Chain A
Amino acid sequence: MTDNFYGEVLTDHNLHPLHKHELLCATCSHEGINSSCGDDIVLNLEIHDGVITNGSYTGSGCAISQASADIMLELVIGKTPDEAKQLSGLFSKMINGSISDDELEELEEAGALQNVSKMPARVKCAMLGWRTMEILLNENA
């Protein structure tokens, strides 16, 4: 679809999220807010034996904030907290426009948000889920 503003990957994750739901078995949760624009998510993770076995988010916000959280969960479920943090570092590098091609590959679908590096007003939106996950992992690892 050439008319699609953000590209299909992002739009799809926004309109049909895989991980936007409650998570009753979550072992830890954290709320992340961008107060200036009203993006507001609660991120839930289930961590067992050093592995993120499940995750979800709820809340509301712009397409970039919502899709970014959804794509992030898709990427980190099954990984260790350290691996997740490393991916978060790479994502942040991508948003800052300083990522290498090899590193970009590691981010898989999250690479679809690379264009945000050219939208300074939207960096906070893209980072919301990742920032919230980092806080969550630092507090609960």
Chain B
Amino acid sequence: MNEKLLSKANFPVFDVYKDLVYLDNSATQQKPERVLKAAEKYYREENANPLRGLYDLSVKATDAYENSREAVRAFIGAKSSREIIFTRNASESLNLIAYSWGRANIKQGDQLIVAVSEHHSDMLPWQILAKEKGAEIIWFECSSDGEYTPEKLKELLTPKTKLFAIAQISNVFGRLNPIKKFAEVCHENGTLIVCDGAQSVPHIPVDVRDLDVDFLAFSGHKMLGPMGIGVLYGKEELLEAMPPFLYGGEMIDVVTLCGATYAELPHKFEAGTVNDGGAVGLHAAIDYINELGFELIQKREDELTALAFREMKRIPHVHIIGADDPGDHHGILTFTVDGVHPHDIAAIFDSENIAVRAGHHCAQPLHSFLGVPSTSRMSLSFYNDENDIMRFTEVLGTLRRKMGYDG
């Protein structure tokens, strides 16, 4: 535990924008100096095409890349680094499952269960797959405050259900779903479970073996790392049986004019030159999180969430989407303000140097389900502070007056 790492002082963006209140962490997090330095150091001192060259520098580049894979493996508790596939982001990871596993395993008449609150990235790949194969999507509906229960899931499962997809933490509700229970229920039915960890892996300890998920997808840039590096975890026996997703260099064993045999895991799924600089940056981000420790991260984020929740509740005409307990929000507070459109809300916040998200947060069907066309969202991280929250709630309290209402 290193409390110093909580501070904004470790994040260069706040040297440039001293007044910035950054509350769009669910979209992407800011990057600590250490992460930027690590990626730069790679390009200055270790850059070569990894996994190819038989010279010293390429060996260094390969080591840097594979060390990062090992760091990811340890971070999420996977059994083997063969189970860690580097992708560009969680979206690509989820698409990889849908294209590779999905096209090999889904047949006409099969069913896929997808949570209605999923991000488009964990929705569209399944919709396209189902359409292509003549399979059916069964929507898993939550309560109005965003709760999903294993009992409800059980009711939806049939012998035809091949896969269930859900986020561990919804990017709209911020609620933690009982993934371990879901996995149990799914596996009893012979159904695979895909977990979107984009919003959970940065904020809570995630152990894939304890959860017993079949696949887990997440993005580096939402957990202090660079953009363009993401992860797909898959159980080895599943990945082993899956056909490649993309074809190209470094994912083959032998190529002839008649075809090819493919490389072993994990390289089978990493066609072309990989993002070594991104992987090294992600490694530094994981080291940062580990040194800080989830105990401290969670304590800090829970404190700030509770403060924001309490202050927001005091403002008339403000409605928080989801649970009535700040402990169920994990730093994500999605809200509406009576009579004020989210884009006007975001514009007013922007004029005060406060960054919040407005729109449907890539979860349009959920907004239809909830009956609101769009919402605003503040999402915090451990490096935010009380002052950020107070500046946010202060402006929140003036929105209606700024839009011409009396109060």
Which B309-353 residues sit within 8 Å CB-CB of chain A?
339-344, 347-348, 351
Which B389-404 residues sit within 8 Å CB-CB of chain A?
398, 401-404
- Does A62 count as interface, using CB distance less than 8 angstroms? yes
Q: Which residues of A contact B (CB under 8 A)?
A: 1, 3-6, 8, 11-12, 14-15, 36-40, 60-64, 119, 121-122, 125
- Does B405 count as interface, using CB distance less than 8 angstroms? yes
CB contacts (< 8 Å) of A14 on chain B: these are 403-404
A8 touches B404 (CB 8 A): yes
Seed contacts A11-B403, A63-B341, A122-B343; 8 additional CB < 8 Å A-B pairs: A1-B404, A38-B373, A60-B373, A61-B343, A62-B342, A62-B344, A63-B340, A64-B343
The range of chain B's interface size is 20 to 34
- Does B228 count as interface, using CB distance less than 8 angstroms? no
A55 to chain B: closest CB distance in Å? 22
Of A36, A60, A61, A63, most buried by chain B (CB within 10 Å of CB) is A63
B400 to chain A: closest CB distance in Å? 10
A125 touches B351 (CB 8 A): no
In the bound complex, CA of A6 to CA of B344 (Å)? 9
Decide yes or no: A119 and B347 within 8 Å by CB, A3-B398, A63-B341 being known contacts. yes
A63 touches B359 (CB 8 A): no
Q: Closest chain A residue to B342 by CB distance?
A: A62
CB contacts (< 8 Å) of A62 on chain B: these are 341-344, 347
Q: Closest chain B residue to A35 by CB distance?
A: B364
- The A/B interface has a contact count, at CB < 8 Å, of 56
What are 29 A-B contacts with C-beta separation under 8 Å? Answer: A1-B404, A5-B344, A5-B351, A5-B403, A6-B344, A8-B404, A11-B404, A15-B339, A15-B403, A15-B404, A15-B405, A37-B343, A37-B358, A37-B374, A38-B359, A38-B374, A39-B343, A60-B341, A61-B343, A62-B341, A62-B342, A62-B343, A62-B347, A63-B341, A63-B344, A63-B403, A119-B347, A122-B347, A125-B343
A interface, over-half SS: mixed
CB contacts (< 8 Å) of A38 on chain B: these are 359-360, 373-374
CB contacts (< 8 Å) of B360 on chain A: these are 38
CB contacts (< 8 Å) of A4 on chain B: these are 402-404
B173 to chain A: closest CB distance in Å? 19
A5 touches B347 (CB 8 A): yes
Decide yes or no: A3 and B344 within 8 Å by CB, A38-B359, A60-B373 being known contacts. no
Decide yes or no: A5 and B348 within 8 Å by CB, A14-B404, A37-B343, A63-B341 being known contacts. yes
In the bound complex, CA of A119 to CA of B340 (Å)? 18
